[in-house]
Amino acid sequence: MPPRLRLQLAVEELPLKVPFRISGYTFTQIPALVAQLWDAERIGRGEAEGVYYFDDTPARMAVDIESRRAEIEAGITRDELRELLPIGGARNALDCALWELEAKRAGQPVWKLAGIEQAVPLTTMFTLGADHPATIATAATARADATALKLKLSGELELDIERVRAVRGARRTSGWVSTRTRAIHSIHSNASCPCSCKRVYSCSSSHWRAAAKRISTLSIARFRSPPMKAVKGSPTSKVCSACSMS
């Protein structure tokens, strides 16, 4: 049986060096929930930022975890955590803390406990905000070490086109997002949810179809459409977690 634990939660505001802009929102700081678990000798730490537009905020995560404090402090394993809390930031923060705690008990790094033969660096994307094209070009040039870039667009078609051109001009030789693929993925105006609920979705704005056509000449790897909304009157017998977050 796992040893008893002591739980501590705190919400930290992590300031950004520069504002980060997306469509309709500007971030100047990122709030994060920090979870710490102590046994008699060791401490495990984890954190999560959540997804604000799913209402998965640090404050909400803290409430969810506090509602299960007794079970958590009684001693819990990672497998038991999956049954205790649903998918989301609260479970993520505690899962990370439990991984670190388990690694310290075993005297091994987390990657070994996870069954990985060798730890290797992974490529991740550096995201450029929906800023003025000149600002974006400067940022893209400054991050020459980033081999994969993602650009946020705002929905202002002409300005979005200039943003894409700015990145292509700044990083033409090294490529943008992926140098292996030079085609835009298809954007479907209607699509079915991949799960058993069979909900039908429709792209909420013609902007993205127009943008896809215009941007297709700019040699990017992928153009991602916004979240699609359920069509009124479509089947809603059982909503899956993917649908509920769309």
Please state the rounded mean pLDDT for residues 120-140: 90
For residue 181, the model assigns a pLDDT of 26
**Tokens 């678990």, located at residue:** 37
Is it the case that residue 231 has pLDDT exceeding 70?
Answer: no
Q: Does 232 score more than 60 pLDDT?
A: no
DSSP-based three-state secondary structure for 22: strand
Closest residue by Cα to residue 142 from 170, 123, 165: 170
Q: Are 4 and 39 in contact (CB under 8 A)?
A: yes
Q: Which residue has the higher pLDDT, 25 or 43?
A: 43
Give first-to-last CA distance, the chain, whole Å: 39
Asked if the model's pLDDT at residue 193 lies above 70, the reply is no
pLDDT band at 148 (very low <50, low <70, confident <90, very high): confident
CA dist., res. 111 & res. 101, Å (int): 13
CA distance 69 to 75: 10
The pLDDT-based confidence of 210 (bands split at 50, 70, 90) is low
- Cβ contacts of residue 163 below 8 Å, gap of 6+? 130, 131, 133, 136, 151, 153
| Position 189 pLDDT exceeds 70 | no
pLDDT, tens digit, for every residue of 56-111?
999 999 999 999 999 999 999 999 999 999 999 999 999 999 999 999 999 999 99
Tokens of 189: 């105006």
